[in-house]
Amino acid sequence: MKPQVLIGAVNSGSGKTTLTVGLLRALKKRGLQVQPFKCGPDYIDTQYHTIAADRDSINLDAWMASRQHVQFVYNRYAENADVCVTEGVMGLFDGYRRMQGSSAEMARLLNVPVVLVVNARATAYSVAPVLYGFKHFRPAPKIVGVIFNQVSSPAHYACLKEACAEAGLESLGYLPAEDSFRLPSRHLGLTVVAKKAMDELAERIACKVESHIDIDKLLNLCTRPFPCAYSLPYTQDVPVDTVRSRFPKMRIAVARDSAFSFIYRENLDRLREMGGSLTFFSPLYSKELPDADLIYLPGGYPELFSRQLHRRKPLMKQLYDYIEKGGKVLAECGGMMMLSRSVATQKGTVYEMAGALPLTCTMEDAHLHLGYRCAEYRGLVLKGHEFHYSSVVSPEALPSVAALYDAKGNRVATPLYRYKNVIAGYTHWYWGETDLLRLWE
């Protein structure tokens, strides 16, 4: 038995991340080992969680992975924790297709209770029918309590608490309206300075959580059996020993810094399980490319550091030579941009990159490309997520080697590129239960 909770919300913008960050820090200050999780493919909130809890936050996604794999990942990372806190995605029942992939589905899959966050800035007693509806819309997941956000005064909270009682739900407290609680822009990148600011923000929110939320009651209401039971029939992942025997002592170099930070923790652990010895390097600061049999260049915010990357000419040349000699590379979104000929900023300034791929990228006329992506390549079904503002100029210069589809099966224009042993594209892939190395066979 251990406390396990999913932080859900009536709708996006209710304050799930703010509350989660504050709760994680408040629990950590109690001396508890708290394991954070995030529903969906988000790579930003998990970094906020990690700063607040001082423990890597793990993505749980019921579209990119099987039900059994999600349960396996949850049980594995939560095993040594005292408390598990999962932040939901969007509104509680919002999924990629009705409830599919929603926070409600995840709570049901993990058999954990929900604490609902409600933005109370423009509501009072009228929140009662909303809460009643959320409680009775589905018998599962179980909503055990409510926390109100953006509460203007104790009198305002007293009214909200009465509404909560009318709906038959426990009111666990509130967060007062504080403009200083605003989280950093999601398109600024977590630099060293930004991480320090986020750490200070987590501390300030935690103080309000301790003052205005009944943490003990929350923990008591959310204590459940652990581990969660696997859905049947249970199917194991790719046998680890089989993969290790084919790729002994594989050296894998992973780019990781402020410009390249969109990394799923489970992907790294999977590479280690495949027999990989991981070495991390920084395209922004490392002087040399590590010796490697495979280089992983994840996504991030290279467009914010284009000038700095442009000046890393020795490292860029090493990347170029490595690729020309047949070196294996997986480049996702920002990693692909770094391998392109150049990147143009929103103001039109052009910076040369590694030049390993016959592509040019631009942030001019930028607009958001977003959504789940699926592709089949070399007998592997790949699933991932696309999130970027840049675009490729003259994409016909390097034709796509596979067709990509969204979560509803509609074909999308997102490419998957192959140049020598480089596999690149805008999609951030999840390979927690995929033998990724088969792509280079």
| Average confidence score pLDDT of the chain | 93
Query: What was the pLDDT predicted at 241?
Result: 42
Side-chain-facing half-sphere of 290: CA atoms under 13 Å: 22
Q: What is the DSSP letter of 97?
A: B
Q: What is the pLDDT of residues 41-56, one digit of tens each?
A: 999 999 999 999 999 9
- How far is Cα 117 from Cα 11, in angstroms, rounded to an integer? 9
Q: Are 332 and 429 in contact (CB under 8 A)?
A: yes
Question: What is the average pLDDT across 318-342?
Answer: 98
23 pLDDT higher than 60: yes
Query: What was the pLDDT predicted at 243?
Result: 43
The tokens for 437 are 């190395």
Side-chain-facing half-sphere of 359: CA atoms under 13 Å: 28
Question: What is the average pLDDT across 286-293?
Answer: 95
| 266 exposure class (CB count in 10 Å sphere: 0-12, 13-18, 19+) | buried
Q: Which residue has the higher pLDDT, 177 or 237?
A: 177
Query: What was the pLDDT predicted at 348?
Result: 92
- How far is Cα 185 from Cα 191, in angstroms, rounded to an integer? 12
Q: Which candidate in 39, 84, 222, 333 is catalytic?
A: 333
Output the CA–CA distances (angstroms, integers) from residue 405 to 73, 372, 432, in the order listed: 26, 8, 20
Work out the pLDDT band at 187, boundaries 50, 70, 90.
Answer: low
Query: What was the pLDDT predicted at 308?
Result: 97
Write phi, then psi, for 95 (nearest 5 degrees).
-130, -175
Question: What is the average pLDDT across 390-413?
Answer: 93
Query: What was the pLDDT predicted at 397?
Result: 83
Q: What value does the CA radius of gyration of the chain take, rounded to a whole number of Å?
A: 23
Write phi, then psi, for 80 (nearest 5 degrees).
-95, 15
Residue type, 347: K
Work out the pLDDT band at 405, boundaries 50, 70, 90.
Answer: very high
Give the other-Cβ count within 10 Å of 88's Cβ: 27
247 pLDDT higher than 70: no
Q: Which position has the token pair 């089989």?
A: 242
Residue type, 202: A
Residue type, 122: A
Which of 13-27, 84-98, 227-241 has the least mean pLDDT? 227-241
* Percent of the chain's residues with pLDDT above 70: 95
338 pLDDT higher than 80: yes
Query: What was the pLDDT predicted at 276?
Result: 77
The tokens for 367 are 């607009």
Query: What was the pLDDT predicted at 242?
Result: 41
Quickly list DSSP for 281-299: E-TTT-SSPPP-SEEEE-B
Residues with Cβ within 8 Å of residue 299, at least 6 apart in sequence: 43, 260, 262, 332, 333, 334, 335, 387, 388, 428
Question: What is the average pLDDT across 410-417?
Answer: 96
Work out the pLDDT band at 259, boundaries 50, 70, 90.
Answer: very high
Query: What was the pLDDT predicted at 396?
Result: 77
Question: Whose CA is closest to 152, among 179, 117, 183?
Answer: 179
240 pLDDT higher than 50: no
Query: What was the pLDDT predicted at 441?
Result: 87
Please name each of the domains of the chain with its CATH number.
2-224 (3.40.50.300), 241-440 (3.40.50.880)
Residue type, 158: A
Question: Whose CA is closest to 157, among 212, 217, 214?
Answer: 212
Residue 222 annotated among the catalytic residues of the structure: no
* Percent of the chain's residues with pLDDT above 90: 86
Work out the pLDDT band at 408, boundaries 50, 70, 90.
Answer: very high
Residues with Cβ within 8 Å of residue 67, at least 6 apart in sequence: 109, 231
Quickly list DSSP for 378-417: TTEEEEEEEEES-EEESGGGS--SS-EE-TTS-EE---EE
Query: What was the pLDDT predicted at 188?
Result: 57
Question: What is the average pLDDT across 233-262?
Answer: 70
Q: What is the pLDDT of residues 339-388, one digit of tens each?
A: 999 999 999 999 999 999 999 999 998 889 999 999 999 999 999 999 99
238 pLDDT higher than 50: no
Q: Is 430 helix (H, G, I), strand (E, B) or coil?
A: strand
Alpha helices in 86-142 (DSSP H): 103-110, 127-137
Query: What was the pLDDT predicted at 363?
Result: 95
Say whether pTM exceeds 0.75. Answer: yes
Size of the chain in residues: 441
- How far is Cα 141 from Cα 99, in angstroms, rounded to an integer? 12
Give the other-Cβ count within 10 Å of 360's Cβ: 21
Work out the pLDDT band at 182, boundaries 50, 70, 90.
Answer: confident
Which of 66-75, 137-146, 226-235 has the least mean pLDDT? 226-235
- How far is Cα 1 from Cα 78, in angstroms, rounded to an integer? 12
Query: What was the pLDDT predicted at 239?
Result: 45
